[in-house]
Structures are given as C-alpha cells and as structure tokens.
Chains A and B, each alone.
Chain A
C-alpha cells in the first residue's frame, strides 16, 4: 500500500471541501448538508486508510497484535471498495450527462 496515495486522499479530504463549502454556502441548506456529509465521508475514509497503514507498520516493525492488523486491513479494503464503487457510479452518471444530444 502506497503511503503517498492515502496522504493525497487525506489532503483531498481536507482541501477539496473548502471551495465546495463556499460554493454551496448560498444555495439551499440541503446542498450544504450534502457537501458536509461528503466531506465527513472523505475524511473518515482518509482516517481509515491511515489507521490501516499505521497498523501495518506496527505489525511489521514492532510485532503488534495481528488481529488488529487484520481488522484494520479489512476495514481499509471495505472503505476503498466502497469509495471506488461510488466514484465509478459518479463518473458513469457524468458521462451519461455528457452523452446528451444537444
């Protein structure tokens, strides 16, 4: 697992939300809430990945509890699968819009 990948994701979770939050500040509060929910989800995703990496490093260097490692990796896998699936769906929907005959 590449450390830089998840760092990028964590950074994205922190930075990618600010413009979105500003953008969504004036429209209805429902959109604002959606942006906030998405922001929280991305942040949690970054935290899960960071936890998985910390556990892997601890297990390899200090011989930490293997059960914690397995749990962290399974949760990371779950989070990555979910994120990838959601991203694919979003991209698919975007392409569907682009294919619209003008």
Chain B
C-alpha cells in the first residue's frame, strides 16, 4: 500500500503546483493594465526533503519577467513623462491564456492519475475480497 499512497502524494503535489501556477496566471491577467507591472513567472522543481516521497514537485521562487515594458503614448496620463509616454505592463494576454490552459490540462492529468491510483487500489482490494 505504500506504493499507492506515495503515488497519491506525488499526484497531489502536481495538482498543488498547477494550482499555484494558475494563481500567478490570474494575477498577471488581473494586472494586465497596471502601469509598470512585470508578469510573474513560476518555475517547477523537484521537492527535496527527508520525509517527502520521491519524485514530488513543487513550485520554485517566483520571478519577474525581464522583458522590456512597452511604452504607451498617452500625454494625459498622470505617469506620462515629457515625451507623453508611460510604461505599461509586459503581460501578453495570449501567453497568459495559453499558460492557463496548459495549467488546466496538467491539473486534469494529475487528477486522472489520482483517480487511476484509487481505482487500482480498490481493484486490488476486490481481488483480496473474493
């Protein structure tokens, strides 16, 4: 049974990481029009620790995208400089939407794995019950 329970933990760690990823994606989308906002990029790394099951995943440090901020022309804007430009956010909606979709797909894959493990363990128990 330890195989099944560690596999369940690994699948749950994948789901947790994807949930955190979609949190950052939603922050990016919410701040798409915030002047000077840099989009947050989340990375995945293997979890390290003595009591953790092998092969679990966790999200690493959140980094900010270093791409240059677009300069938006709007002389009436309070943050506009002498040329009439102000720095916008470097969030690209298409990138964020595809990232959100990818997080959803990965989450579903982990969910399926979780369900599959449960089914496998219950069929093993059925075999024992016969």
Contact = CB atoms under 8 A, between A and B. Distances in A.
Interface string A54-85: 00000000000101101100110111011001
A79 B114 contact: no
A43 B69 CA distance: 58
Contacts of B5: 75, 78
Interface string A1-37: 0000000000000000000000000000000000000
Given A68-B12, A70-B12, A74-B118, A85 B19 contact: no
A68 B15 CA distance: 10
Contacts of B8: 71, 74-75, 78
A66 B86 CA distance: 42
A71 B1 contact: no
A67 B16 contact: yes
A78 B1 CA distance: 8
B59 interface: no
Q: Which of A65, A75, A89 has its CB near the most chain B CB atoms (within 10 A)?
A: A75
Interface size class of B (residues with CB under 8 A): 10 to 19
Contact of B12 (A71, A82, A88): A71
Q: Which of A74, A81, A86, A88 has the most CB of B within 10 A?
A: A74
Nearest to B6: A75
Interface size classification for chain A: 10 to 19
Given A74-B114, A75-B5, A89 B128 contact: yes
Contact of B121 (A65, A71, A78, A86): A78
A78 B4 contact: yes
Interface of B: 1, 4-5, 8-9, 12-13, 15-16, 19, 114, 118, 121-122, 125, 128-129
30 contacts: A65-B16, A67-B12, A67-B13, A67-B15, A67-B16, A67-B19, A68-B16, A70-B114, A71-B8, A71-B9, A71-B12, A74-B8, A74-B114, A74-B118, A75-B5, A75-B8, A77-B118, A78-B4, A78-B5, A78-B8, A78-B118, A78-B121, A79-B1, A82-B1, A82-B125, A85-B125, A85-B129, A86-B128, A88-B129, A89-B128
